[in-house]
Structure 1
Amino acid sequence: MVKIVDRLLLFCFSLVIGIISVTVLGVGAGWIPEKITDRWIEGVYSETWLQITVIVVSVIVFLISFRFFYVSIRRGNAASPSIDQRTDFGDIRISVETVENLALKAAGKQRGVRELKSRIRIQDSGLEIVIRTVVDGETSIPVLTEEIQRAVKEHVEEITGIPVASVTVFVANIIQTQTFKSRVE
């Protein structure tokens, strides 16, 4: 929700700054006649509704600028998603990337596995791990996938202490082995 509000504020801020920039450019380049500029400035000093409008727009632009300044200097926690745990001694944060690497490490130890990719989803019941792999085609796929599921679940739970709700293995392909026929002449 905050990101949507920030994007909306950025849009409004860019629009207002763009209008002000074009206006100042027009005045500086002489595209806007001096009489119009003088009348507008006199209107700001003499007409109450125009003064209020200028003040309100200025305050809004200043607040938006302050918000963007704050966002730019604060340390963001959203940069790397993590899994947070609370213990008796304090808080523990484990990045999702760490859990993905642990899952890849466990799956990679299985014989017959070639290319691996992982994706982690955090659910209330625990982690949902999806492993995408290419296998060699010489090992039984049901046996191999069960071994991957068991190894990943045990390894991630043992290392992180976070319960794993499910491990899904997607076999994307098998590696085509090249067979060479000897040529007899």
Structure 2
Amino acid sequence: MIRVLDKLLLFLYSLAIGALSVFAFCTGFNWVPEKGFKDFITTLYNGEMEWMRVTVIVVSVVIFLISLRFFYVSLRRSNASSPSIDQRTEYGDIRISLETVENLALKAAARQRGVKDLRARIRISEAGIEITLRAIADGESPIPTLTEDIQRTVKSHVEEITGIPVATVSVYVANIIQTANYKSRVE
């Protein structure tokens, strides 16, 4: 929820700064009439249009508050920079990034013949790691056998290397490799 709010604030802030920079650019090239600009400032200072003065104050305060928010976010230390699996041993703590587990799963799955273009997604559950693989098969190997071999290999490899139990390995065969059959033409 906070990230969505920050993205919305960043969008509004970008719009305001963009409009301000366009105005400054136009003023720099004398595209904004000097008399109109002076009249606007005079009207604002004299208080002839109170609603405009209030609007300028409110917009300025909002932009300042958004600036403070972004200043805080930039200085805040983020612990969620890379999601990881934390383990405690008798010697100390071990942190294994989800990216490491993902690469281990891809490495193990790539060893299987008949599979190309692998992608992996890792989730952590109470039962252990849930690995979802997306693959393209070559179309030569039986898909049930291929996917079972991938599941078995990935599960044992990830558990052996990381020491973390793997709850499930799901394999989604998205497609098969299209081979081009060209017929030779004799004339």
TM-score (norm. length: structure 2):
0.68
Following superposition of structure 1 onto structure 2, how do residues 85-164 of structure 1 map, counting pairs within 5 Å? 85-87=87-89, 89-164=91-166
Change (3 A) 1:89 1:70: farther
Indicate which of 47, 66, 69 corresponds to 1:43: 47
Moved more, 109-118 or 61-70: 109-118
Unaligned runs of 5+ in 2: none
CA-CA distance at 1:153 after TM superposition: 0.9
- SS of the residue aligned with 1:127? strand
- SS of the residue aligned with 1:64? helix
User: Where does residue 3 of structure 1 map in the other structure?
Assistant: 3
Which residue identity lines up with residue 167 of structure 2 in the other structure?
Answer: A
Identity of aligned residues (%): 60
Task: Tell me how far apart the structure 2 counterparts of residues 93 and 145 of structure 1 sit (CA, whole Å).
Answer: 30
Which residue identity lines up with residue 168 of structure 2 in the other structure?
Answer: S
Change (3 A) 1:31 1:100: farther
Change (3 A) 1:127 1:31: farther
Change (3 A) 1:96 1:25: same
TM-score (norm. length: structure 1):
0.69
Would you say 1:34 and 2:38 are equivalent positions? yes
Q: What value does the CA root-mean-square deviation take over the aligned residues? A: 4.0
CA distances 1:51-75 after superposition (whole Å, capped 9, x unpaired): 8876665444323212213333555
Which residue identity lines up with residue 143 of structure 2 in the other structure?
Answer: I
Change (3 A) 1:126 1:24: same
Task: Tell me how far apart the structure 1 counterparts of residues 134 and 50 of structure 2 sit (CA, whole Å).
Answer: 67
Contact 1:104-1:117 at 8 Å conserved across structures? yes
Contact 2:44-2:53 at 8 Å conserved across structures? no
Unaligned runs of 5+ in 1: none
User: Where does residue 61 of structure 1 map in the other structure?
Assistant: 63
Change (3 A) 1:163 1:33: same
